[in-house]
Amino acid sequence: MSTIVLAADAATPTASGGRLIAAALIGIAVLVVLITRFKVHPFLSLTIGSLVVAGIAGMPAAESVTSFTKGFGSTAASVGTLIALGAMFGKLLADSGGADRIVDTLVGRSSPRTLPWAMAAVGALIGLPMFFEIGLVLLMPVIFLVARRSGLSLIRVGIPALAGLSAMHGLVPPHPGPLVAIDALGANLGITLLFGVIVAVPTVAIAGPLFARFAARWVEVVPPALFEASDGPTEPTGGVGSGGTRTEVRGPTFATTLATVLLPVVLMMGKALADIFLAEDAPMRHRLDFVGTPLIALLLAVLVGMVTLGRGMGLADVGRSVETALPPIAGILLIVAAGGGFKQVLVDTQIGKLIAGWVAGSGVSVLVLAWGVAVLIRLATGSATVATVTASGILAPLVGTLDTATTSLLVLAIGAGSLFFSHVNDAGFWLVKEYFGLTVGQNLKTWSVMETLISVAGLAFVLLLGLVV
């Protein structure tokens, strides 16, 4: 499935092969140094790195700007709208009490033996429509409360929930990383979503409940005395994680919340299945293709969520929830769009084609290569999103003649690599450390190992899936 045949391309490389490779390596090095050493925002770093690559590769200055802005604009148009709609949906889920309803229902029906598995399911469900940081902040009071009431270790309860959140963040759209990889590689979103869920489920099981049994023996911490007044379905009034009070709200039912969360997933998977099994001129296929288009599926999810999730909120509160979802993701949108510009420069200078030619003659599996590239950038920058968008740009020329299924697996291989070994240069590392009250060493033995397990297990299941599709 990973055999690469390069299509003919009339475009002429901007420089010799050696100079193009040097341009790519220096550009990525500049990107890494700016982010890690000088703490420059990834948006600026990607922009500068793109211009450095173009300049060293011999691209005229005017053309380099045109190339970058072309990639920036196309990525913002195709991916930016989806990220915005996903953020709106996630905020509605949090503000309505729907997320709490999912948590309380699943946890309330679990025994101490099955509780870690329930927490993994909670993390995955909450992580499906939400960004990792938002889901983490939302789940922390629940993790603390469950650990105190069950008598289980905070690590035993918390690691499964974190595994569910993280795996969904790296492997399953509509999160920014998978979306930008899908856009850069021209993958089918519905098929990638289906494959992502298939890969994520066993990956979460291994890195979550199974690993938590060992991690709880290595590290023992007492749940902090936060949110002790929380009892039952609640909604934060002072901000979850800010120490604010929590008051009772009349949220949607579990069934309503679950149906609303799964609506865009079902629509996009329906489109993927229709494209496989229905004739091109079948009326039902045209209908499913329309409602399963990512933009339409997420738009419908937001509109339906405003009714089903916002039923007990009032029109003003629903409008405020949707409005306040957008400012926090402005930085993510700029990073993703700049990543698209970086990718376009690599394409227009023909650096990517040169790398594709090397891989085609090396016999290296394109899936393993994609994972390895993402791992290196993740270790250097600490950002899963930067690792995904940069690796996608480098590997975009490799997919010219790959089939649809393999292209989707390539997206997942990059996503798995982008999660490898979170450490001190990753904001998520410090967020988890502070919430759980861990030392740096304890966090490395729990959170960092968990992230590595997700990455390695994710690649393993991608490779296994590649044998049967």
Given CA atoms 254, 269, 469, 184 in this order, what sign does their dihedral have? negative
Using DSSP bridges, classify how beta strands 246-248 and 234-236 pair: parallel, antiparallel or unpaired.
antiparallel
Of 339, 288, 306, the closest CA to residue 78 belongs to 339
Assess if residue 240 is contained within a domain: no
Per-residue pLDDT, 235: 41
The H-assigned helical ranges of 404-448 are 404-417, 427-436, 440-443
Does the residue 430 lie in any domain? yes
Find how far residue 181's CA is from the centre of its chain.
10
Q: Please report whether residue 5 resides in a domain.
A: no
DSSP assignment of 304-353: HHHHHTGGGT-HHHHHHHHHHTSGGGHHHHHHHHHHHHHHHHHHHTTHHH
In this structure, how many other beta carbons lie within 10 angstroms of the beta carbon of residue 291?
16
Q: Specify if 368 maps to a domain.
A: yes
**Does the pTM of the predicted model rise above 0.85?**
no
Domain of 292 in residue numbering reads as 17-226+249-466
In a domain, residue 349? The reply is yes
How many structural domains compose the chain?
A: 1
Weakly modelled stretches of the chain, pLDDT under 50 = 1-10, 229-248
| Structure token digits, residue 149 | 């009431």
Burial environment of residue 410 by CB neighbours within 10 A (0 to 12, 13 to 18, 19 or more): buried
| pLDDT at residue number 451 | 97
Residue 226's pLDDT is what?
54
Q: Which candidate, 160, 48, 216, 255, places its Cα nearest to that of 454?
A: 160
Domain assignment present for 59: yes
| Domain membership flag for residue 108 | yes
Please, what is the Cα angle at 123 between 120 and 126, to 5 degrees? 145
Q: Give 240-288 pLDDT, tens digit per residue.
A: 333 334 444 567 999 999 999 889 888 887 887 888 788 989 999 999 9
pLDDT at residue 229 in the model: 41
Instruction: Say if 242 falls within a structural domain.
Output: no
